[in-house]
A and B are shown apart, each in its own frame.
Chain A
Amino acid sequence: MAPRTAGSLTAGAPAAGTRAPGAPAADAPAAPADTAPRAAWVRGLSREFAGQRVLDQLDLDIAPGEFVALIGRSGSGKSTLLRALAGLDRGVTGDLGVAGTAAVAFQEPRLLPWRRVWANVGLGLRTGDAKTVALDALEEVGLGARANAWPLTLSGGEAQRAALARALVREPSLLLLDEPFSALDALTTITMHRLVLRLWAHHEPAVLLVTHDVDEALSLSDRVLVLAGGQIAFSERIEVPRPRERDHPELAALRNRLLTELGVVTEG
Chain B
Amino acid sequence: MPGNTPTGLLPTGLARGTPAAGGSATDAPGPEAARTAPGPGGQHAAAAAPHLSVVPAGRAESAPGARGTAPGAQPGKPAARRRNRTWFRIISPLVVLIGWQLVSMSGLISQQKLPPPSTVFHTAITLITTSNAAYGTLQGAMLVSLERVAIGFAVGGAAGLVLGVIAGLSRLGENSVDPLMQMLRTLPLFGLIPVFIVWFGIGQLPKILLIALGAAIPLYLNTFSGIRNVDAKLAEAGQSLGLHRGETIRHIILPGALPQILVGLRQSLGIAWLALVVAEQINANAGLGYIINQGQAFLNNSVIFVALLVYCVLGLLTDALVRLMERRALAWRQGLLDH
Contacts and interface: CB of A to CB of B under 8 A. Distances in A.
Given A88-B240, A152-B333, A108 B251 contact: no
Given A113-B18, A114-B332, A152-B333, A108 B241 contact: no
B236 A113 contact: no
Interface in A147-199: 149-157, 159, 166, 170, 183-185, 188
Interface string B209-248: 0000000000000000000000001101111111100010
B335 A123 contact: no
A118 to B, nearest CB: 13
A183 B24 contact: yes
Contacts of A104: 237, 240
A156 B31 CA distance: 12
Contacts, number: 95
A112 interface: yes
A255 interface: no
A204 to B, nearest CB: 21
Contact of B238 (A108, A114, A124): A124
B20 A108 contact: yes
B26 A156 contact: yes
A185 B29 CA distance: 9
Contact of B27 (A111, A115, A123, A155): A155
Interface string A108-146: 111111110000000110000000000000000000000
Contacts of B22: 113, 152
Interface string B113-124: 000000000000
Contacts of A87: 239-240
A86 interface: yes
A113 to B, nearest CB: 5
A153 B23 CA distance: 8
A123 B252 CA distance: 10
B251 A153 contact: no
Contact of A86 (B240, B243, B330): B240
Contacts of B334: 150
Interface string A197-223: 000000000000000000000000000
B236 A88 contact: yes
Contacts of A111: 19, 23
A206 B240 CA distance: 17
B241 A123 contact: yes
A156 B241 CA distance: 21
A109 B22 CA distance: 11
A188 B28 CA distance: 11
B40 interface: no
B335 A150 contact: yes
A103 B26 contact: no
Given A112-B251, A112-B252, A106 B237 contact: yes
Nearest to B236: A88
Contacts of B140: none
Given A108-B233, A170-B241, A154 B23 contact: yes
A110 B27 contact: no
A152 B332 CA distance: 8
Given A88-B236, A155-B27, A185-B29, A124 B335 contact: no
Given A86-B240, A110-B233, A185 B18 contact: no
Contacts of B89: none
Interface string B183-215: 000000000000000000000000000000000
A184 B24 CA distance: 8
A157 B27 contact: yes
Contacts of B27: 155-157, 159, 184-185, 188
14 contacts: A109-B23, A112-B238, A112-B256, A113-B19, A113-B333, A123-B243, A124-B247, A152-B336, A152-B339, A153-B339, A156-B24, A156-B27, A159-B27, A184-B27
Interface of A: 86-88, 103-104, 106, 108-115, 123-124, 149-157, 159, 166, 170, 183-185, 188
The 3 closest A-B pairs by CB, nearest first: A156-B27, A124-B241, A110-B237
